[in-house]
A and B are shown apart, each in its own frame.
Chain A
Amino acid sequence: DIQMTQSPSSLSASVGDRVTITCRASQSITSYLNWYQQKPGKAPKLLIYAASSLQSGVPSRFSGSGSGTDFTLTISSLQPEDFATYYCQQTYSIPRTFGPGTKVDIK
């Protein structure tokens, strides 16, 4: 199985801050990397697919980059509705695996 790690596991930030979350795969996954946002009591929501493609309807302050084993999700200016947990997921091979999540809360 391809193992996914994320850093940090949690972070505290203020509205307006630039936030970067890192995801690393245990082997190359080329660009088969997705990012999801999950708020308490809700299903995950797709933000970024194929490492850097913004899902329709997602604000442009979200962006993704990377390829191979190292990926980043960036929120350019954190908004109140962005406080949530973020997961990366690889879809390069079976089983699909998720990172452990990064919780973003209010400083």
Chain B
Amino acid sequence: QLQLQESGPGLVKPSETLSLTCTVSSGSISSRTYYWGWIRQPPGKGLEWIGSIYYSGSSYYNPSLKSRVTISVDTSKNQFSLKLSSVTAADTAIYYCASEMTTVTKNYLDYWGQGTLVTVSS
């Protein structure tokens, strides 16, 4: 089964760019049935979908974050990445990467990374 692991700095200064990478193992990021997604969860709060990307580079984002988010994919490394610019304390959250099974009739997040806490603070 797929395994996903987030990596990146746990502390980012306000106004800077948050950068995280998700490494996929036990499967190919070039799978035609998967998108690859990012979800975040502020401490003690609910889940927010950030966006997803296909191995071809086709992506879609949450409009509430779209102006600040870039998700990219590196098929040679079996990785995909998240960049969130101009961060504030409101972006402090646990960030999860996940595989997004996608077919004509269904779409769901079936495998998740363990999550990584990113704190925005000076």
Please, which residues of chain A bring their CB within 8 A of the CB of B60? 94
> B48 is contacted by which of A32, A34, A98 (Cβ under 8 Å)?
A98
Total contacts A-B at CB 8 Å: 62
**Which residues of chain A in 58-103 are interfacial with respect to chain B, using CB atoms and an 8 Å cutoff?**
87, 89, 91, 94-101
> B108 is contacted by which of A87, A91, A101 (Cβ under 8 Å)?
A91
Please, which residues of chain B bring their CB within 8 A of the CB of A43? 96, 98, 112-115
> B109 is contacted by which of A34, A53, A99 (Cβ under 8 Å)?
A34
Identify the closest chain B residue to A98 (Cβ).
B47
With contacts A32-B106, A43-B96, A91-B107 taken as known, whether A96 is within 8 angstroms of B49 at the C-beta atoms is yes
Interface residues on B, range: 20 to 34
Q: Does the CB pair A45–B112 fall under 8 Å?
A: yes
Q: Does the CB pair A46–B49 fall under 8 Å?
A: no
Please, which residues of chain A bring their CB within 8 A of the CB of B101? 49
Q: Please report the total number of A residues contacting B with Cβ < 8 Å.
A: 25
Q: Does the CB pair A98–B49 fall under 8 Å?
A: yes
Q: Does the CB pair B47–A53 fall under 8 Å?
A: no
Q: Does the CB pair A49–B64 fall under 8 Å?
A: no
Please, which residues of chain B bring their CB within 8 A of the CB of A50? 105-106, 108
Cα distance, A97 to B51, chains bound together (Å) = 11
Please, which residues of chain A bring their CB within 8 A of the CB of B112? 43-45
> Min CB distance, A17 to chain B, in Å?
24
Cα distance, A6 to B115, chains bound together (Å) = 24
Closest 9 CB pairs of A and B: A91-B107, A43-B112, A49-B108, A96-B49, A95-B62, A50-B106, A98-B47, A34-B108, A46-B110
